[in-house]
Chains A and B, each alone.
Chain A
Amino acid sequence: MHAALIGQLTIDGLLVGGVYALSALGLNVIFGVMRIVNLAHGEFVIGAALLAAVLFERWHANLFVVLPLAFVLAFGLGALIQRAFLRRLPEDLASAETTSLLMTFGLSYFFVGAWLAFFSGNFRSVPYLTGAWTIGPFSIAQARLVAFVASGIIAVLLAMLLRYTALGRSIRATSQNLQGALACGVDVERVRTLSFALGTAIAAASGCLLILIFTVNPETGANVTLASFAVIALGGLGNYAGTLVGAAVIGLAVSFTGYFATAQVAQAAPYVLFILVLLVRPAGILGKSGA
């Protein structure tokens, strides 16, 4: 095998992984703080992706103008959903995971229908940055690199928010120990609303980048949700650095199996990895064992 081919597959894999990473980060923030498995996550990603595609079709709206807009809209929508629905679920933790699962499942159906009504069932993508830059023997897809870099910037901003701000500290506290956070006077309700809103907004941002690479319609959201789950399960639920590692592993697995095996194997690869990790390291690659 040529070294150049291996290099090319590695580049392709890592670049796609970068976009998975952002979507998965949004999901992980929500899970980390709220212990809510948000099955409607992919619908937020796809909703923003379709919005970006439609604005591009109509007015050639630049994706990097649409991205902050989608971020703000989704932030509001996320806060609304948390206030109107999720907050009303029973507090009892044992049943909360099941009821939140059912509720987000229902929300996901609602949004698929809403996007179908609003955007129609057409598949859409955006013809922007479709070319490639050639560096030595490698070709680097422009859209993928831009999406990767943008994902990276948003991930770094998120990390800084979590590490250096009061809100970030409250989020991490709630995520690590609910009782402790309550005892220290953290306004847990507010933190939950802000985290759900933040997770939804990150999902929307990743949607605006995803549309650069993939062709989507309202019914492709479930695939995004599944892929994001595989990524955070690999990296460790609630572990933000692990999410990046998980995304890179999955991106590489898809790229290499797609070449050396078949596209069918590539599609199964994330889930095979996911099962293997659950068997061998149930807490994820970077997770603390026994956590």
Chain B
Amino acid sequence: MRRTRLQVIAAGVAATAFVFVLGGPRLAASAADKPIVIGASISETGAYADSGKLALQGYQLWVKQQNATGGLLGRQIELKTYDDASDPATAVRLYQRLIDQDHVDLIVGPYSSAVTASVANVAQQHHMPMISPEVASTAPFQRGFTEIFQGIQIAADYVEGPMAIAKEKGFKTIAVTGEDTLFPRSVVSGVDDLAKKMGMTIVFNQLYPHNASDYSSIVEKMKQSNPDIVLAASYLPDSVGLLRAMKQANFAPKLVYEGVGPTELSFGTQNGKDADGVMGTGNWSAELKTQGNATFVKAFESTFGHPPDYHAASNYAALEVLGEAVKRVGSLDSAKLRDQLATLTMPTVMGTYKVDPKTGIQQGYKSLVLQWVNGKQFVVHPKSLAQQPPALPFPSWSTR
């Protein structure tokens, strides 16, 4: 037994010595030689893994490019990320760990609205400014926080585009639907006021629950209300379900808008010719003529072997903004950085970054209306960014 104890002590001494040998010089080195560490949690596993991965790659690409051109403030940059498995409570713990234990120099936002809303508390408590590229809901910004900044278009703006297009064409009646959860509800929250302002009438307004699988009844009801436009605040699965039910009911209104579902490329593969004419709201497009966008797309493809999506772009843009703020401040002073992020106006791959200095709500980035035409997505609104004018009316089912 004694021998074992001796061995343990010897091992302990050796281990301590080892740590000193390795860690000693590092502790002694000056701060200027150390990389600037940027911390974040990302949903790398769980149901959101696919989009989370692209979001992370957006961060990674900026860090890689920036390091190749000399880093930031003369120091290299290191990205420290943990996997939050899409769980808000886990993300809160991870950000606490990044700040308290890992002593990261800067933080950036996680993936998804729900996770960001929880993490905002941590950023606020520690006075660490955080730009969040994955939160379209404005709710987290209306709680009096001073440290968080929205790095993506706000959800309530989404329906403005299709409604403006409809008004121009003289369409009058609207059927509103969508998934009965937080994000889609905030998308349709402004429809009533907008319709009044634009002189249009809402003839149907009913949401369906999350995980609904059969849309034939709700589509039958919409059809009976005979609207010019269908505005659905839907994700991918319900966008596909609704569209298919519309085809099966032979219901083709003059304009069909389906929230964020049509922005995903698999909307095209899952619907084939039926996708033609459908509009959706996008935050970004590879074709967009924003500053540095073409270079970003090329560099992303050559680094990761696949094209970027809007998650990658908004996360990349967030670090563009953070990097610029650090450069202007000339240090990592969080109070000064906060003020800089609140007032900075600058071009990114997403458009012009500009937030409301009080709340941090995004004002510069404009959401885009995309439309599927002959199996491809095109930006059709706003006019300043449009690749082509909207193709309307929505083609009838028998002429495809």
Contacts and interface: CB of A to CB of B under 8 A. Distances in A.
Interface of A: 5, 8-9, 12, 16, 57, 116, 120-127, 130-132, 134, 139, 141-142, 144, 213-220, 223, 254-259, 262-264, 266-267
Nearest to B398: A131
A258 B212 CA distance: 11
A120 B247 contact: no
23 contacts: A12-B214, A121-B48, A123-B237, A124-B266, A125-B241, A125-B244, A127-B271, A130-B272, A132-B248, A132-B250, A139-B250, A141-B216, A142-B248, A213-B214, A219-B47, A220-B211, A255-B214, A255-B217, A259-B217, A259-B220, A264-B209, A266-B212, A266-B217
A215 B241 CA distance: 7
A220 B48 CA distance: 14
Contact of A123 (B208, B236, B247, B250): B236
Contact of B270 (A127, A254, A255, A263): A127
A137 to B, nearest CB: 11
B250 to A, nearest CB: 5
Contact of A217 (B206, B217, B218, B237): B237
B218 to A, nearest CB: 5
B269 interface: yes
A215 B270 contact: yes
A103 B241 CA distance: 34
B211 A223 contact: yes
Given A125-B244, A214-B213, A264-B180, 9 more contacts: A122-B266, A124-B266, A125-B270, A130-B274, A139-B248, A214-B241, A215-B270, A218-B47, A255-B214
Choose among A125, A144, A263 the residue with the greatest number of B CB atoms under 10 Å from its CB: A263
A221 B343 CA distance: 48
Contacts of B207: 263
**Residue among A57, A131, A223 with the most chain B CB within 10 A?**
A131
Interface string B237-249: 1101100100111
A55 B173 CA distance: 41
Contacts of B218: 258, 263
Contacts of B211: 220, 223, 267
